C-alpha cells in the first residue's frame, strides 16, 4: 500500500518521537493491518525507561514499540490471498510472537521457547503506528462480539490463560491469585471460569483489590496497606480462615515482587501447585525448602508467553467468561503514546491498564 503513516518511533531510553514514515511493504507471507487499539504493556514501559533492552542487534531502536494490538486487514500478501484466508476489513488480533515453525521447539509445539522468534514491537517494528505488517499466520480473526479494545488485550490474556492452564485447577479448588495488576485481574476471572470454587485475591493496593472483588474474587488480602480493611501480615492464617482451615491447593503469582514469590510457598499446602508468571530481574533467586517440598509433594511451575491458547481466549471473551472492560482504565491517542507510557509508570493515580486508540 502506498502512502505514509503516523508512527511513534522509539530510539533509546527516554527518546521517543512522533514521526511520519512510509506504510510498510508486505512480503508474500505477510498481511498489513490498520491498527485500532494497542495495549501499553509493562515491557513497553521497561524498554522506554531502559530497564530492559530490545531484542534488536544493539538492544536499541529505532523501532516502533507496541505488541498487544487489534485492527483490520488492510492488504493481503499473495500466500494468504491464494489460500483465501483474509479479506480487507477483516477484524483481527495479533499474536506478536512469530515463531519460526522449523526448529525442534516449534516441532513440539513449544512455540514460546522458539529461539528464532520475531517479536512485533520488540525485535521488529510494532503497533504504535497506523499500520503494522505481520505474518499471515499471526493475525487471527476475532468474533464479532469482541471489541477492538478487548482484542488488543488478547495477547496478555493469552499469556494469563497459558498460566492458568499450567495451574491445572480441579473443580471446586480454592485458588490464590497473588498480584492484582491487569494480568492478575484476568487470572481471577480465568480461575473461576476454569472451575475454581473460591478465589482469594492478594494485592498491595485496595484499588486492585476492589477490582478483583468486582470481577469475581471471593476474598481479598492486602499485604501492604495497614490502613486497609483487607490488611493482614499473616497471609497463611488468612487463607486458612477463608478455606475451611486449610492452606490453598493452587496459587498463581502474576507479579515480579519477590515477597509474593516467597509467600506463595506459605499460603499453599501439601500436594499443592504454584505457578510463577511474573517478570523478575535476572538476578532474583527463590529459595525453596527442598525436604519440605518433597515430603509435601509440591508442584512448582513457571509459565511464559502463550502457545496454543488463542482460540480459547477469543471464545472466553466472546462468551463473557472474561470481561476485559474493568481492566482498561486509561486511554490515549497515538500522539499521546509517550505521555501514556510515562503516566502508566510515574502517576500515583489509581489505574490498571492503559491502551492507545489509533483512530
- Interface residues with Zn ion (CB under 5 A) are 41, 99-100, 103, 106, 114, 116
Residue 43 CB, nearest approach to Zn ion (Å): 5
Residue among 97 and 202 whose Cβ is closer to Zn ion = 97
Write out the H or E segment, with its range, that includes residue 26. none
Maximum distance among all Cα pairs of the chain, rounded to whole angstroms: 66
Residue 178 CB, nearest approach to Zn ion (Å): 20
Residue among 122 and 167 whose Cβ is closer to Zn ion = 122
Write out the H or E segment, with its range, that includes residue 151. helix 148-152
Q: Which residues contact 71 (CB under 8 A, 6 or more apart)?
A: 33, 34, 35, 36, 37, 91, 92, 94, 127, 132, 148, 358
Residue among 109 and 320 whose Cβ is closer to Zn ion = 109
Residue 130 CB, nearest approach to Zn ion (Å): 20
40-72 as b/e, with b when 16 or more CB fall inside 10 Å?
Answer: bbbbbbebbeeebebeeeeebbbbbbbbbbbbb
Residue 189 CB, nearest approach to Zn ion (Å): 18
What are residue 214's phi and psi, to 5 degrees? -70, -25
Residue among 106 and 120 whose Cβ is closer to Zn ion = 106
* Residues paired with residue 8 on neighbouring β-strands, in sequence order: 18
Residue among 95 and 243 whose Cβ is closer to Zn ion = 95
SS3 125: coil
Residue 170 CB, nearest approach to Zn ion (Å): 29
Q: Which residues contact 58 (CB under 8 A, 6 or more apart)?
A: none
Residue in 196, 185, 137 with CA at minimum distance from that of residue 160: 185
∠ Cα 290 236 199 (to 5°): 105
Residue 115 CB, nearest approach to Zn ion (Å): 7
Residue in 92, 16, 79 with CA at minimum distance from that of residue 47: 16
Residue among 56 and 319 whose Cβ is closer to Zn ion = 56
* Residues paired with residue 187 on neighbouring β-strands, in sequence order: none
Residue among 106 and 177 whose Cβ is closer to Zn ion = 106
Residue 308 CB, nearest approach to Zn ion (Å): 14
Residue among 83 and 107 whose Cβ is closer to Zn ion = 107
Burial class (CB in 10 A: 0-12, 13-18, 19+), 348: exposed
Residue 99 CB, nearest approach to Zn ion (Å): 5
Amino acid at each position: 500500500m502506498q502512502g505514509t503513516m503516523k508512527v511513534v518511533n522509539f530510539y533509546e531510553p527516554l527518546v521517543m518521537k512522533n514521526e511520519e514514515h512510509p506504510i510498510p511493504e508486505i512480503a508474500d507471507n505477510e498481511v498489513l493491518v490498520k491498527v485500532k487499539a494497542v495495549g501499553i504493556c509493562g515491557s513497553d514501559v521497561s524498554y522506554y525507561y531502559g530497564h530492559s533492552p530490545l531484542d534488536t542487534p544493539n538492544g536499541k531502536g529505532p523501532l516502533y514499540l507496541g505488541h498487544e494490538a487489534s485492527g483490520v486487514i488492510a492488504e493481503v500478501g499473495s500466500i494468504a490471498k491464494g489460500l483465501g484466508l483474509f479479506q480487507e476489513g477483516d477484524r483481527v488480533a495479533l499474536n506478536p510472537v512469530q515463531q519460526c515453525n522449523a526448529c525442534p521447539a516449534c516441532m513440539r509445539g513449544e512455540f514460546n521457547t522458539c529461539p528464532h522468534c520475531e517479536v512485533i514491537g520488540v525485535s521488529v517494528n510494532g503497533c504504535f503506528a497506523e499500520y503494522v505488517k505481520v505474518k499471515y499466520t499471526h493475525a487471527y480473526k476475532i468474533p464479532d462480539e469482541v471489541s477492538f479494545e478487548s482484542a488488543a488485550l488478547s495477547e496478555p490474556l493469552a499469556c494469563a490463560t497459558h498460566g492458568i492452564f499450567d495451574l491445572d485447577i480441579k473443580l471446586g479448588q480454592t485458588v490464590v491469585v497473588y498480584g492484582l495488576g491487569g494480568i492478575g485481574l484476568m487470572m481471577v476471572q480465568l480461575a473461576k471460569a476454569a472451575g475454581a470454587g473460591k478465589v482469594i485475591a492478594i494485592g498491595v493496593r485496595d484499588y486492585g483489590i476492589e477490582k478483583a472483588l468486582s470481577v469475581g474474587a471471593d476474598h481479598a488480602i492486602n499485604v501492604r496497606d495497614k490502613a486497609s480493611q483487607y490488611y493482614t501480615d499473616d497471609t497463611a492464617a488468612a487463607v486458612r480462615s477463608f478455606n475451611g482451615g486449610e492452606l490453598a491447593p493452587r496459587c498463581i503469582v502474576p507479579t515480579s515482587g519477590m515477597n509474593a514469590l516467597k509467600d506463595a510457598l506459605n499460603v499453599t499446602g501439601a500436594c499443592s501447585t504454584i505457578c510463577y508468571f511474573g517478570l523478575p530481574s535476572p538476578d532474583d533467586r527463590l529459595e525453596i525448602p527442598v525436604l519440605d517440598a518433597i515430603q509435601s509433594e509440591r508442584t512448582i511451575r513457571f509459565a511464559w508467553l502463550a502457545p496454543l491458547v488463542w482460540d480459547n481466549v477469543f471464545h472466553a471473551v466472546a462468551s463473557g467468561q472474561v470481561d476485559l472492560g474493568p481492566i482498561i482504565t486509561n486511554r490515549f491517542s497515538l500522539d499521546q503514546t509517550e505521555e501514556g507510557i510515562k503516566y502508566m509508570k510515574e502517576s500515583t493515580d489509581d489505574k490498571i491498564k492503559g491502551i492507545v486508540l489509533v483512530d
